Amino acid sequence: MVKYIGKRIIYMFITMFLIATATFFLMQTLPGSPIASYSKLNDTQKAIVEKKYGIDKPTPVQYAIYMKNLAKGDLGTSFAFKGKSVNDLLASRIKPSFILGAQAMVFGTIIGILLGMLAALRQNTFWDYGSTFLAILGTSIPSFVFAALLQYYVASQWHLLPVGLWNDGWKSSILPSLALAMGPLALSARFIRTEMIEVMSSDYITLAKAKGANKFEIAFKHAFRNALIPLVTVLGPVAAGLVTGSLVVEKIFAIPGIGEQFVSSIMVNDFATIMGTTLFFSAFLIVVIFIVDILYGVIDPRIRLAGGKS
Amino acid sequence: MKNTKWLLLMAMTLVLSIFLAACGGSDKKEEGSKDDGNKDEGSATETPKKEDGEPDAEQILNLDELAAIPSVDSAIVEDAVGFNVLNNVNEGLYRLNAENIAEPAMAAEEAVVSEDGLTYTFKLRDAKWSDGSAVTADDFVFAWQRAIDPDTGSPYGPFMMSGSVKNATAISEGKMDKKELGIVAKDEKTIEVTLERPVPYFLSLMSFGTFYPQKEEFVTEKGDAYATNSENLLYNGPFVLTEWDGTGDSWVYKKNDNYWDAENVKLTQINVNVVKDPATGVKLYEDGKLDRAALTGDLAMQYQDDPEVVKQPDTAVYYFKFNQLKGGKETPLANVNIRKAIAKSFQKEDLADVVLANGSLPAYYLVPKDFAYDENKKDFRELSGNHLEYNVDEAKDLWKKGLDELGVDSLELEILGGDTETSKKMDEYFKSQLETNLEGLTIKLKEVPFAVRLELDSAQDYDIQVSGWGPDFQDPISFLDLFVTDGTNNLMSYSNKEYDQLIADSKGDLALKPEERYEAFAKAEKILLDDEAAIAPIYQKGEIFLEKPYFKGLASHPFGADYSFKWAYISGKE
C-alpha cells in the first residue's frame, strides 16, 4: 500500500509537470501580449516593464524561470492586478468557490443517493418515477438556470434568502450551493438506482434474503456499498469541477470566487493568473482522483490496489 | 471493521459540511424601504441636485462596481474603477466640483499663473494624510517624478505630462534624470510647476489621479508592498479605503476624519461589492442591498419608465467615419455631397430614445455636451450650436447631386460596426433609414468584434465606420485633435488646411487667449461637420441607473474619475 501510494505521488508530480509545460507553451500562442493593456506606455517604459515581468526573454528562458519559481511555490505576479502575487489572488478567491462546491457536493450526493436507493427499492412505483424525473431535470437543465430560478423566487420574490453577494454569512451560500447541487444530485440518483437494481438481483443478496437478514440491513450493508463504486469513479472529477468554481453561478450570485476570475484572466492575457489557476485546478483534480482510487479499497475490499498484497 | 471506516468517512463529511456551514460572517440583513414618498420629479436631470432634505442619522451607502480594483497606486492606475477609488480617497491640487469645474482642493487658493502661461505657483492648504502627518509640496514633487520615471511604468504619467510639463518627454524616454521635471517645492507649502507650452486646461488636469501626491517616506518604506492593500496606502481625500485585500471583490470607504473638509463630508461609510452581472445588480437594488444600480442593454429598456431611474450623460461621442481612401483608391465618400447626404438622412432622436433607450442623446456635434466650459463657465455647446441636423429633403438633393458628380445612379456602401446586441440593432436602424431616404443606396452591414474593428480601422479598410471617442482631458481639443491631417486617429484620409491651422493656432498663438481659442474650436467644428461632413455625429453616450430617492448629492464627472462621494448623503431612508 505504501509503495503504491508512493508511486502514485511520483506520477502525480510528473502529471503536474506535463500540465504546467503544456499550459505554458499553449499560452504563448494566445494572440496579444499582456502588455496590450499598457497601450499608453511609451517604448522606453514598455521595455522596462517587459523586463520587469521577464517577458522580454525568449520563451524557453521564460519557461525555465517559471518552472524554477513554481518549484518554490511562487506562481508569479499578476498583470491585471498590478504588482500582486497570484498566490494571494488564488488564496483570497478560492475560499468562496470551495465552500459552495463542497456544500453542493455533500448535499447533492447525499440527497441523490437517498433518492436513487428509494427508486431502486421501490422500482416502478411513484417514488421511482418521481426520482427519475428529478434526475432527468437535474441532468438536462444547466445549473445557471436553477441559479436564476432560485434567485428569482426564493430571494427576489419571497425574500427568504439573500439575492447575492458574499456578506451574509452562511445564508449567502445556500442558493448558489443548491443550484450547483442539482448536477451531482441527478448524477448520484441515476447511478445508484441502476447499480442498486443490478446488485439487488445478484446471488449474494438472494442469499442474504434467504438467511433472513432484514430488508434495511440488506439494502445498506450489502447492496449500497457495491452500488457505490461506479458513482465514486465519476464523482471525483465532478467534485473537482465544483470546488474549483463555476463561472456562471458565481456571476449570477456575485460571489467573489475563482471561477469567474479564471475566465476574465484569459480575456486580458494575464499569463501568470492563467497559469496559476490552471495549475491549481489540475492539482486539485489529480489529488481528488488519487483519493478516489484509495477510496475504492475502502468501499470494496475486493479491489486490491497493489497486486493484492498490502 | 471496514464498515466503521466507511461510517467514519461519512461522519467526517458531515462534520466538514457543518464546519463549512459555520464559515463566513454574520451581517445583519437590512430591508431597503421601497418607497418613502420623497420622490424627486427632477431626478432625471443630468447633474445631481442639492436637496433640502435633512441628512439621516445613519449615513451608510451600498454600491456596486462592475470590476475589482486592479490598483490604487496613483502612478499606476489606468482603469475606471481605480480612478474612481483614487478620487474618493485621495486628492490633488484641484478637484472637480459637482458642476464639474475644477476648484482648489489641496491647493489653498487659485494658482498664480505667469503671464506667458508657463509657470504655475500653487500654495498648499494645511492638509493631513490619514496618518496625521502634513501633506507637503515634496509629496507632490515625489509623486510626479515617480509617475514620469520610466522605471515606474506609469501608463498615464508620460501620457499626461509629455509635451506639457517641462522635460517630461525626455525623462520618460530615459534620457534625463527625473529630478529635472518641471516641478519644484519652493518651500514646504509652495509648488512651482513649469510647462513647455501653455496648456489652457492645465488646472483641470490637476484633478486627475496621476497628479495626486504620494508621501515618499511611506512609499519607500512599503517598497513593493505599496498600494497592494488598503493598509499599505495613505489617504488625504474625503474617505479612507478599508477592507480591501488587493484582489478581492469588496471594499469599504470610511469617512476620513483627517480630511481638511471633513465637516462637509456626510457619509460615514460606503460598502462596495463587485457585481459583474447587471441583472444581479438590479435584483440586489430591488432587494434593498444596493442604493444604485446600472441599467444596461435590455434592462435599460425594461426599466426606462421606472420612477427611480436617473439619466447620466457620458462624454463619449459616437459618429460615422467616412473613409475617403481605400486601398489607394478614392471612395465615393470622397465626394462631399455624398457624405453630407448620408449625415443628414437619419433621424437621431428615435435612435437615441427608441433604439438605444439607455440615456444616450442625439448628437449634432463632436465635442459633447456638459463637458468643456469657457472662462465664464459656459458650456462649449452653447457657443458652437448644432450641426448636420436631420433633413431628408436636403439629403435627397445632396444625394442626387453627389451621384451626378460621380456619374453613377446607385452605390453600395459598407457600414462597419461592433458585434454587440446594441450595435447590431443600431446598424439595422441605419440601414433602413439610409436605404429608405437615399434612393439607389445599398448598405451592407459588417459586424465584427472590437479588436477586429480596430484592425480594419488601422488598415483603413472600410467605407463607413461607427466609431466613438471618450476624452482624456477636459478640453475640446481632446476631440478636435482627432481629425487633423494624418492624425493618428484620422485614418480616413480627411484633410483640411484651414481646420489644421485652427487646431495648430489653439495650441500656439491662441493658447493664452481663451475666448478666441474657443471661437477657433467652434469654427473648426463647423468646418469638420457643416462644411465638410468629414464625420457624421450619431449620439452622445448616456447611462441610466436606478437610484434610491434617499440617495442624494452624488456628483458625476466627465473625465478622470466617474464619481465624487464627497457631497453625497442619505436623506429620508428611515
Q: Give the Cα separation of B351 and B356 in Å (integer).
A: 6
Query: Do residue B247 and residue A93 have CB atoms under 8 angstroms apart?
Result: yes
Which CATH number is B563's domain given?
Answer: 3.90.76.10
Give the pairing of strands B441-447 and B411-417. Answer: parallel
Question: Are A81 and B245 in contact (CB < 8 Å)?
Answer: no
Q: Do A138 and A180 form a contact (C-beta atoms < 8 A)? A: no
Tell me how far CA of residue B211 lies from CA of A42, B157, B268, B489, in angstroms: 18, 8, 26, 26
Picking from B475, B443, B446, B478, the residue whose alpha carbon sits closest to that of residue B345 is: B443
Domain co-membership, B565 together with B435: no
Residue B351 domain flag: yes
**pLDDT above 60: residue B12:** no
Nearest to B160, CA basis, from B121, B191, B204: B204
Report pLDDT for A305: 56
Q: Clarify whether residues B118 and B180 are in a common domain.
A: yes
In a shared domain, residues B564 and B536 = no
- Chain A CB within 8 Å of residue B488 CB: no
Q: Which of A151, A162, A256 lies nearest to residue B274, judging by beta carbons?
A: A256
- Is residue B112 helix, strand or coil? strand
Please indicate, yes or no, whether residues B537 and B566 belong to a single structural domain of this protein: no
Contacts of B174 in chain A (CB under 8 A): 44
Same domain, B419 and B328: yes
User: Is B126 found in the same domain as B15?
Assistant: yes
Residues B153 and B134 in one domain: yes
Residue B6 domain-assigned?
no
Can you give the pTM of this predicted structure?
0.84
Q: Is the dihedral of CA A58, A61, A67, A70 positive or negative?
A: negative
Residue B3 belongs to some domain of the structure: no
B472 touching chain A per CB within 8 A:
no
pLDDT tens digits for range B61-90: 999 998 899 999 999 998 889 999 999 999
Cβ–Cβ gap A251/B151 under 8 Å: no
Contacts of B9 in chain A (CB under 8 A): 295, 298
Nearest to B521 by CA among B489, B483, B487, B477: B477
C-alpha cell at B212: 495626486
CA–CA distance, A254 with A222 (Å, rounded to integer) = 44
Contact status, residue A184 vs residue B303, Cβ threshold 8 Å: no
Q: Are A156 and B286 in contact (CB < 8 Å)?
A: yes
Residue B416 β-bridge partners: B446, B465
- Predicted-complex ipTM score: 0.87
For residue B47, being part of any structural domain is answered with no
Taking residues A61-78, report their average pLDDT: 91
Share of chain B above pLDDT 90, in %: 70
Asked whether residue B283 is assigned to any structural domain, the reply reads no
Interface membership of B276 toward A (CB under 8 Å)? yes
Say how many CB pairs under 8 Å bridge A and B. 161
B488 and B552 inside one domain: no
Q: Which secondary-structure segment (H or E) carries A277?
A: helix A271-299
Å between B159 CA and nearest CA of chain A? 6
For testing the chain A interface, which of B226, B249, B454 should be mutated: the one with the most A CBs within 10 Å? B249
Residues A220-226: contacts with CB within 8 Å, 24+ apart? A221/B3, A223/A196, A223/A199, A224/A113, A224/A117, A224/A192, A224/A196, A225/A299, A225/A300, A225/B6, A226/A195, A226/A199, A226/A300
Evaluate whether residue B277 is within a structural domain: no
What residues contact residue A6 under an 8 Å CB cut-off, 6+ apart?
none
Number of domains in chain B: 2
Range of the domain at B521: 313-542
**Mean pLDDT score, B455-475:** 90
In CATH, what number is assigned to the domain containing residue B508?
3.10.105.10
A290 CA to centre of own chain: 14
C-alpha cell at A217: 440491513
Please indicate, yes or no, if residue B242 is contained in any of the structural domains: yes
CB < 8 Å to B17, chain A: 102-103, 106-107
- Give residue A35's pLDDT: 66
| Chain segment B525-538, per-residue pLDDT in tens | 999 999 999 999 99
Pseudo-torsion of CA B354, B356, B358, B363, nearest 10°? Answer: -100
Which pLDDT value is given to residue B134? 96
**Do residue B424 and residue B449 come from a single domain?**
yes
Same domain for B505 and B552?
Answer: no
Residue A214 reports pLDDT greater than 80: yes
Residue B135 to chain A, least CA–CA distance (Å): 26
Cα separation, A206 vs B34, whole angstroms: 65
Does residue B167 fall inside a structural domain? yes
Residue B192 β-bridge partners: B121, B184
Residues B188 and B64 in one domain: yes
The answer on B561 and B437 residing in a single domain is: no
Q: Which of B252, B283, B290, B488 to mutate to test the interface with A (most CBs of A within 10 A)?
A: B283
| Gyration radius from chain B CA atoms | 27
Is the pLDDT confidence value at A225 over 70? yes
Which of B3, B23, B174 is nearest residue A99 as measured by Cβ atoms? Answer: B23
- Nearest chain A Cα distance for residue B132, angstroms: 27
